[in-house]
Amino acid sequence: MVVRRRRKSRKLRGRTRTMGWGRIGQHRRSGARGGFGRAGMHKHFWTWVTAKSPGYFGKYGFHLPPEDRVEIKEINVGELDELARKLNTNVIDLAAMGYNKLLGFGKVKGSYTVIVAFASKKAIQKVKAAGGKVVTPDGEELEVEAAS
């Protein structure tokens, strides 16, 4: 078995200023670690970038301008029966309620005229199968486009 030697922390007792790091300042401040923060990523830390964070430099994709972004607030066709019962009408104006898309999850029992800006194909099919129709706020009836 190897004899246990003295630890470095014990060896350094009584030393001053540099504690085994040579001339004053060689182990001080940020130069000892290659700079603060992300310094040197395109220079002396390039191997680190390629290994650990290959997507750090460069651009990809595009940014949609904020004025072109549309926040979708959706509702499912399964909730239409409940809404019609509460409103006591067959014309459901989802646009006035703040919804702008009708999705096709659930079942529709009654025939309703639904006013909404956007609707999925399945939602339109389900509303029409129940005898209703889907209309935009401008008055255009939404149709399911035939597959070409």
Per-residue pLDDT tens digits for 8-50: 777 777 767 787 788 888 888 898 899 999 999 999 999 999 9
Report which of residues 120 and 25 the model is more confident about.
120
Domains of the chain from N-terminus onward: 67-135 (3.100.10.10)
Query: Across the chain, what does the average pLDDT equal?
Result: 89
Question: What's the pLDDT at 18?
Answer: 80
pLDDT beyond 70 at 146: no
Q: What is the helix (H) or strand (E) element at residue 52, kind and residue range?
A: helix 46-52
Residue-wise pLDDT for 66-112, tens only, equals 999 889 999 999 999 999 999 999 999 999 999 999 999 999 999 99
Residues 89/110, Cβ–Cβ less than 8 Å = no
Question: What's the pLDDT at 70?
Answer: 86
Question: What's the pLDDT at 19?
Answer: 78
Percent of the chain, pLDDT > 70? 97
Look up residue 118 and give its DSSP letter: E
pLDDT beyond 90 at 4: no
Residue-wise pLDDT for 45-77, tens only, equals 999 999 999 999 998 899 999 999 889 999 999
Burial zone of 60 (CB within 10 Å; 0-12 exposed, 13-18 middle, 19+ buried) = exposed
Residues 78/106, Cβ–Cβ less than 8 Å = yes
List the structure tokens of 6: 């003295």
Question: Global pTM?
Answer: 0.57
Report which of residues 21 and 129 the model is more confident about.
129
Closest CA to 115 of 129, 96, 128, 131: 96
Burial zone of 80 (CB within 10 Å; 0-12 exposed, 13-18 middle, 19+ buried) = buried
Report the amino acid identity of residue 130: A
Residues 102/123, Cβ–Cβ less than 8 Å = yes
